[in-house]
Structures are given as C-alpha cells and as structure tokens.
C-alpha cells in the first residue's frame, strides 16, 4: 500500500491573501464616467496605475443618452491621481483594433508592463427586433462584442509573454436573462460571457485569469435617461408615458427589487472588479460575478 507524502502534493501552496494592487498597472475602457470611472478610481485606491480609455464622442446615432466627454475623462484622471497613482488618458474607439494595440503598447512603455485589462466600454439601445435597423443592430454588436474582443486581443500577446494577466470583461445581468426591446444588447452581453469562457480556457495555463462582472441596473447615463426609464416601466407591466420621470420609473421598478432599490451606484460594482484583479483571486477564472443587488436570485441559470 502506497502512503502519500508531502512530496506527492500537487499545486501552489503559497497563501493567496493579497488584496493589494500595489505595483500593478491597468487599462480600463469606457473610463470617462459611470462604472468605468468608478473602476479606475477603485483600482487606483488599491494601488494600481491606470490608463483610462474612452471615445469621448458620439459612439452611435441611435442612443438616447448623452455621450461621454473629454472633461469627464479628465475628472477620472483626477480621481486616479488623487490616489497618488500614475494616470494616462487615451481617446480612442474600441472598434479600432489598431488603436487598441497602440494603447496597449503605450501602456507597456510608460508603465513598464500591463497587468490588468478591464473591458468595460459599451452602449445600450432599445427597440423590438422586428423594427431594429441593420445599422442599429450592428452598432451594438460592433461596440459591445467586437470592441471588447479587440481590447482583449490587443493585450493578450503581452500577457502571454509574461505568463501573467488579469482580464475582467464587464457583461450585464441582462446578458443572463431576456430584456424586452433589448435584443441587441442582451445578445451582445451574453456573447461576452461566451468570449470570456473561451479565452479563460485558452490561457488558463499561462498565468492569466479571465472573468466577467455582470452589473445590474446602475446609476449611470445609460440608466438615468427617459428612454431607459420608459423601458423600466414597460418591464414592470405598466403603460409608460412618452417622457416618464425618474420617480415614475422608481415607483414602477422598486417594488420588485430584491434589495428594495431601483438601481445601484457605480462604486458598488467596482469592488468586484478589483477583487478579480488581485492575487487573492488567483484561482478564479472563467467565472461570472453578479453585482446586481440580489437580482440574480430570480434567475434560473
């Protein structure tokens, strides 16, 4: 009978309890406001240097909310620099693969390396599938799916060469369930989960983790606009006025909320991203982390 000894142990026995990002560097897309801005600030607070990338312009003509601005990207920079971390702002479109490769090259040159990618940039548009134009469909898919893939593809060669990396893709709770009048958005966010799981499998032996964080409704320009409020009221089974108020949207949606709130704040999503970027999450890969104020309690899968 063979008796196992300590020499038979397999695996890394080093304790992984480090929640600091001191000495790490990150690239965050969609960094000018909302969840992206909160992620940049949270990464910096944990010790990381940050490159924040945003288009800072109209991403698609059919959006019902205002575009991000260079001034907002500057504000993100102030938050990062307020944490005494190095900040690099970049104005670029994630649909442009060449621009994404250039951003990664610049980050590597100025930071010395690139440890973390947070693919957060995306858009949301509404409308029944039967009435969705080819242009509107393509805008959502090209930005949310192709743009995210461009971001990840740009960073992977550097991470593979170092045998280290943390990739976090921001999907959505609406990628895990249907969304009336949101077929393009739900399709794109479900697609990101498939992208994440495939890449996690491909690079799992190379010291790179790949995960998704799935926010629920969050208080950002994508939620704080009459178009989204109208869809919230429709989802609650009520007739919505053409220009509903925020209070009407809250009254319709809050009663069915698991935690009794209509939507979260961006800085309530960011800590989940930070955790996945730390050494403490060394063995977390191929996973979806729901930051949805309990709404995933309603989902079957």
Active site (catalytic) residues: 185
Distance CA 272, CA 249 (A): 27
DSSP letters, the chain, are -----GGG--S--S-------TT-EEEEESTTSHHHHHHHHHHHHTT-EEEEEE--S---TT-SSPPP-HHHHHHHHHHHHHTT--EEEEE--TT-HHHHHHHHHHHHHHHSS--EEEE-------B-GGG--HHHHHHHHIIIIIIHHHHHHHHHHHHHHHT-EEEEEE--GGGSS--TTBHHHHHHHHHHHHHHHHHHHHHGGGTEEEEEEEE-SBSSTTTSSHHHHHHHHHHTT----SS--HHHHHHHHGGG-TTS-S-B-GGGTHHHHHHHHSGGGTT--S-EEEESTTGGGG---
Distance CA 18, CA 159 (A): 20
Beta strand pairing call for 116-119 and 208-215: unpaired
């Amino acid at each position: 009978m063979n008796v196992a000894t300590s020499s038979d142990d397999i695996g890394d026995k080093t304790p992984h309890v480090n929640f600091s990002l001191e000495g790490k560097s990150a690239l965050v897309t969609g960094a000018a406001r909302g969840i992206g801005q909160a992620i940049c600030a949270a990464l910096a607070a944990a010790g990381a240097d940050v490159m924040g990338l945003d288009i800072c312009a109209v991403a698609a003509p059919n959006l019902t909310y205002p575009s991000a601005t260079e001034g907002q990207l500057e504000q993100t920079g102030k938050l990062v620099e307020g944490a005494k971390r190095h900040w690099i702002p970049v104005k670029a479109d994630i649909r442009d693969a060449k621009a994404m490769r250039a951003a990664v090259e610049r980050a590597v040159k100025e930071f010395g390396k690139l440890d973390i990618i947070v693919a957060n940039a995306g858009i949301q548009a509404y409308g029944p599938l039967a009435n969705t134009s080819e242009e509107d469909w393509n805008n959502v898919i090209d930005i949310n799916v192709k743009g995210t893939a461009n971001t990840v593809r740009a960073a992977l060669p550097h991470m593979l060469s170092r045998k280290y990396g943390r990739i976090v893709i921001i999907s959505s709770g609406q990628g895990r369930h249907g969304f009336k009048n949101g077929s393009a958005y739900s399709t794109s966010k479900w697609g990101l989960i498939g992208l994440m799981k495939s890449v996690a499998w491909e690079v799992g032996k190379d010291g790179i983790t790949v995960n998704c964080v799935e926010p629920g409704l969050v208080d950002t320009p994508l939620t704080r606009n009459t178009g989204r409020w109208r869809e919230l009221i429709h989802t609650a089974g009520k007739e919505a006025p053409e220009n509903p108020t925020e209070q009407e949207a809250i009254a319709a949606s809050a009663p069915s909320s698991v935690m009794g709130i209509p939507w979260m704040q961006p800085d309530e999503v960011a800590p989940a991203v930070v955790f996945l970027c730390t050494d403490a999450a060394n063995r977390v890969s191929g996973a979806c982390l729901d930051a949805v104020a309990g709404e995933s309690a309603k989902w079957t899968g």
